[in-house]
Structure formats: C-alpha cells, structure tokens
Amino acid sequence: MSTHFAGVLCAAAMAIPLALPGSASKRAVSSSDVGSQMKNVGFRIADDVVLEIHALRGILKPTRTGEPVTFDDVSSFDVAVDTAEIAVTPESLGALMNSYVLGYEGSPIRNVSLEVEGDRIKQKGKLHKGVGIEFEIEGTLSANTDGDIVMHADKIKADHVPVKGLLHLFGDDLADLVKHGGRGMKVEGDDIILMPQAMTPPPHIQGRVTRVAIEDGKIVQFMDSGLHLTALRPPLARNAYIYHRGGTLRFGKLTMRDADLEIVGDRPGPFAFFQKQYSRQLVAGYSKSTASNGLIAHMADYSRFLGGEK
C-alpha cells in the first residue's frame, strides 16, 4: 500500500502544471485523458518559485497514440488547461526567468528582477555586451491574440540613460533572444512576449491566456480555452485541494485505471505543495481509501517545513 501510495502521489505531483499556460488546445476529450482540477493551491516548482493556483480545470492528454499518460516520462503527455486563474509574485516570475527562460549558456540577459508599481511592471537586469550594462524597462501587461503575455515597453533605460527602444537596447543580441524563443521569451518591436507553453520543460502546457491583471502586487493570469469542461467533484469537500479523475495513469511499474486521487492539506487556507519535497509532506500525513476505491491523501502543508517549524 505504501509503495502504491507513493507512486500515486508522485504521479499527482508531476501532473500539476509547472508553468504558466500558453496557446489553447480545443481537441475533444477522449477516454485516455485524465481530468485535473485544483483550487487554492500554492504550488512550489522550485525553492523560490510558487504558482498561486486560485482555480484550475484541465485535462492531461497522452502525446503518443495507444500509450497512457506516464509520469515517469513527462514527454508522454501535455497539460491542457481549460479554465484557470493563477497568480505569481514578481519575485517568483523573476526567479523563473533567471533559472530557466534566460538560464541558458550565453544568454545576453542576466540577473533579472521584476517590480510592480500600481498597474505597471518594471523589469531590471544586466545586458552582457563585453561589459555589463544595467537596464530598466517599464511598461504594461496584456494578453495577445495568440494567448501569450505581452509586456509593452513604454520607458527604457540603459545605465540610467533613456534609449529609443528595445532594438537599440539589445542590438545584435536581439537575434540571440529570438533564437532562444523556445525558452518562452521573444522580442517584437517594443514588446517582450512571454510564451507560457515554453517557459518550463515538459510536460508542455496548452491553454489560452485571455487576460492579465495586476492585483495586490501580483501578476494574475486568466485562461479560457473555450471548452468549458464540467467541474469535477472531489470525494472530500475542501476549500483547497488537488484532484485527478478518470483515464489511465502509469507510474513506475503500476497502472491506475479510472484514476481517482485527491490531495488535501492539514491547515486552513491555501494548500502549500512542493513537488520536490512531497515525500516529507507524505510521511507527515496519512491516507484514506474511499468507498469507490479512490484515494484521499491528507498531507502536511509544506509551510510546516519552512523556518524550522515541525
């Protein structure tokens, strides 16, 4: 039972989207798909990156005909987000850009930080052109027709001196940024475009950002693919949970058919979950089977492991 449970939890952890969603997928739901629903989850994808998932409804889609969603092979499935509301702090987004989006060898941009001022966002960093040039870009956020996030640069400075545009700032390095657009960022004119579907490694995220807002100092994304799937009903009524239902999940040597797994925390408020530390949360909690042969995992909230708290 413990081996099976750990495998299920590992599968559930990897099923959670680790990035902010991009362009939409409107493929019909098939019997091989696994439903996914989350509410009020502080999903930590790294020590310094947390996605505040207020609500999410989506499906996990196999990428290979005849093979199920396999969590030991993250390229075996895509995460198709139907509807969602996800917030991220400027600190978390900056950490994600430094560690992955701009974290490749030879990247011309380093040491990125972001700040929110009212309804505007300010990005600072260092451009490496032989010697480091400090830059600052200030602008607004919006969603484009492709479902990406656009930061339009209204004010641009290099070493505290105003410059005419991003082309003047980046110059020849602009080609390198376009070349590495697969990492989730590109520059077009005076727009920095973040492509959520490419901002993390597989599993790739499919979804459509329809609106971006700045609320309470955080960047909030609203997604809607247009499918409008029926809401799932977790076996245990909680205000914060992760739930996977239907389809087939394969993990390790085990296969879970007609998947039915709910994960909840042991504290009121949002459920803090860290994929890399899920085993600590698992050991500190307990599990319970349901009458329909499903499984409910009562896990210790990850906040209990922060600051030396037990």
The span from the CA of 92 to the CA of 31, in Å, is: 36
Q: Are residues 22 and 75 both part of a single domain? A: yes
Query: How crowded is residue 151: how many other Cβ atoms within 10 Å of its Cβ?
Result: 23
- Among residues 156, 175, 198, the one where a domain terminates is 198
What is the tens place of the pLDDT at every residue in 243-273? 989 998 776 667 878 989 898 999 999 999 8
Give a yes or no: residue 78 inside a domain. yes
Task: Indicate whether 73 pLDDT > 90.
Answer: no
Give a yes or no: residue 162 inside a domain. yes
Q: Are residues 101 and 191 both part of a single domain? A: yes
Interior angle at CA 225, CA 223 and CA 228, nearest 5:
100
Q: Are residues 279 and 210 both part of a single domain? A: yes
| Interval 52-75 mean pLDDT | 88
The span from the CA of 153 to the CA of 168, in Å, is: 13
Q: Which two tokens stand for residue 77?
A: 């499935």
- Among residues 181, 198, 215, the one where a domain terminates is 198
The span from the CA of 184 to the CA of 180, in Å, is: 8
Task: Indicate whether 4 pLDDT > 50.
Answer: no
The span from the CA of 209 to the CA of 224, in Å, is: 7
Q: Which residue has the tokens 């087939």?
A: 248
Q: Are residues 219 and 283 both part of a single domain? A: yes
Sign of CA dihedral 127, 176, 121, 215: negative
pLDDT reported for residue 175: 59
Q: Which two tokens stand for residue 152?
A: 């339009």
Q: Are residues 273 and 150 both part of a single domain? A: no
Give a yes or no: residue 226 inside a domain. yes
Residue 180 pLDDT grade (very low, low, confident, very high; cuts 50, 70, 90): low
Q: Is the pTM of this model over 0.85?
A: no
Give a yes or no: residue 244 inside a domain. yes
Q: Look up the domain containing 101 and give its range.
A: 91-198
Give a yes or no: residue 310 inside a domain. no
Q: Are residues 104 and 247 both part of a single domain? A: no
Q: Can you name the residues that pair with 161 across neighbouring β-strands?
A: 158
Look at the chain and report how many structural domains it folds into.
2
pLDDT reported for residue 15: 39
Give a yes or no: residue 218 inside a domain. yes
The span from the CA of 55 to the CA of 4, in Å, is: 28
Task: Indicate whether 22 pLDDT > 60.
Answer: no
Task: Indicate whether 3 pLDDT > 50.
Answer: no
The span from the CA of 7 to the CA of 12, in Å, is: 9
Q: Are 256 and 225 in contact, with CB atoms under 8 Å apart?
A: no
Q: What is the DSSP string of the chain?
A: -HHHHHHHHHHHHHHS--S---S---PPP-TT-EEEEEEEEEEEEETTEEEEEEEEEEEEEESSTT--EETT-GGGEEEEEEEEEEEE-HHHHHHHIIIIIT-STT-SEEEEEEEEETTEEEEEEEEEESEEEEEEEEEEEEE-TTS-EEEEEEEEEETTEE-S-HHHHHTTHHHHHHHTGGGSEEEETTEEEE-GGGSSSSSPEE--EEEEEEETTEEEEEEE-S--PPPP--SS--SSEEEEESSEEEETTEEEES-EEEEE-SSSSSEEEEGGGHHHHHHTSEEEE-TTS-EEEE---GGGGSTT--
- Among residues 198, 222, 247, the one where a domain terminates is 198
pLDDT reported for residue 55: 96
Percent of the chain whose predicted confidence (pLDDT) is above 90: 47
Q: Are residues 95 and 193 both part of a single domain? A: yes
Q: Are residues 194 and 209 both part of a single domain? A: no
Q: Are residues 84 and 208 both part of a single domain? A: yes
Average pLDDT value for the chain: 83
Q: Are residues 28 and 96 both part of a single domain? A: no
**Residue that wins the pLDDT comparison between 236 and 185:** 236
Give a yes or no: residue 70 inside a domain. yes
Q: Are residues 97 and 189 both part of a single domain? A: yes
Q: Which two tokens stand for residue 194?
A: 């973040």
Q: Are residues 50 and 142 both part of a single domain? A: no
